[in-house]
Amino acid sequence: MKSRLMAHGRLIFLFTVIYVILNEEINLLTVGLGVLAGGVAILLTNKILEIDYVKMFQINFWLVLMYFWIILRDTYVAGFDTIIRTFKGDINPNLIHYRSDLNDEFLTVLFANAITMPPGTITVDRDGNDMTILTVGFEKDEFCKTTHETIERLFKRFDTKDEI
């Protein structure tokens, strides 16, 4: 029972943080409403869908923090890179086919979204581990090496599933 409360507490905390970010202000009322909205969301999901939200969506807190860090870091790094490429006139769209080494479906979706969030790259299609990515200015080898070393390697630490 205690671990169940802890799991719900972590999810409510996560939902509260997201609520505060979306409201763009932090005060007692916003945090309180975030806690209330998170609790109600979990309660309604459990009752209406007749599932246990915590069991169905096992979200690792460290994975969430890492994901936010990747999005924040890569958005600025890729943004500046895209600005520089734009001024240099080095905007050449390339479709790249990329195969992820991740075995977990949820991590693969997060990975595809992490590629899409920064400026200059969009995951156009994903079928299992195979992705088609539109990039602005990146060549295939450069993109694959950078993506694998900076993003996929971090996600791999949370990949505990057997191969798909």
Q: Which residue in 110, 120, 21 sits closest to 70, CA to CA? A: 110
pLDDT band at 161 (very low <50, low <70, confident <90, very high): low
Do 18 and 35 reside in the same domain of the chain? yes
Do 12 and 77 reside in the same domain of the chain? no
Domain count, the chain: 2
CA neighbours closer than 13 Å in the CB half-sphere of residue 91: 10
Region 92-119 average pLDDT: 83
Do 79 and 120 reside in the same domain of the chain? yes
Q: Which of 40, 56, 72 is the last residue of a domain?
A: 56
pLDDT band at 2 (very low <50, low <70, confident <90, very high): low
pLDDT band at 137 (very low <50, low <70, confident <90, very high): confident
Note the pLDDT of residue 33: 93
Does residue 163 lie within any of the structural domains?
no
Do 81 and 12 reside in the same domain of the chain? no
Do 31 and 97 reside in the same domain of the chain? no
What is the 3-class SS of the chain, one letter each residue?
CHHHHHHHHHHHHHHHHHHHHHHCCCCHHHHHHHHHHHHHHHHHHHHHCCCCHHHHCCCCHHHHHHHHHHHHHHHHHHHHHHHHHHHHCCCCEEEEEEECCCCCHHHHHHHHHHHHCCCCEEEEEEECCEEEEEEECCCHHHHHHHHHHHHHHHHHCCCCCCCC
pLDDT score of 162 more than 70: no
Do 34 and 87 reside in the same domain of the chain? no
Q: Tell me: the pLDDT tens digits for 69-88?
A: 877 887 788 788 888 888 88
Name residue 95's beta-bridge partners. 134
Q: In what order do the strands lie in the sheet with 121-127?
A: 93-99, 130-136, 121-127
Domain that holds residue 134: 63-156
| Contacts of 144 by beta carbon, 8 Å cutoff, 6+ apart | 96, 98
Q: Tell me: the pLDDT tens digits for 3-49?
A: 767 777 878 888 888 888 888 888 999 999 999 998 898 888 888 87
- Residue 153 tokens read as 């390697």
More confident residue, 51 or 20: 20
Q: Which residue do the tokens 């990146």 mark?
A: 138
